[in-house]
Amino acid sequence: MNTPKKRSLNELRQTKDSHYIVPRTNNNTNLKKLFEDYFQNNNENLNADNIDNFINHLYSNGYKFRITGT
């Protein structure tokens, strides 16, 4: 009668790691939250003159725009 092979600790770790599922993160930030954060910190109201400053602020902080259909 054959006895089952005993697995080493290293083999068990490799098996566990090979089946690890990476959790997904949600990196989406809605535009309303960005507006509120920016204009509350700068004590400004939104108008046509400072919208360019807001968009430049987004680009300088690494935000990217993604247009999605609804």
Helix axes 51-60, 31-42, angle to 10 degrees: 110
pLDDT band at 58 (very low <50, low <70, confident <90, very high): confident
Q: Report yes or no: 29 and 58 within 8 Å, Cβ to Cβ.
A: no
What is the mean pLDDT of the segment spanning 5-33? Answer: 71
Q: What is the pTM of this model?
A: 0.41
Q: How far is CA 64 from CA 26, 29, 57, 67, in A?
A: 14, 10, 11, 10
Q: Which amino acid would we find at residue 50?
A: N
Mean pLDDT of the chain: 74
Residue 62 has pLDDT above 80, yes or no: yes
The dihedral sign for the CA sequence 51, 52, 53, 58: positive
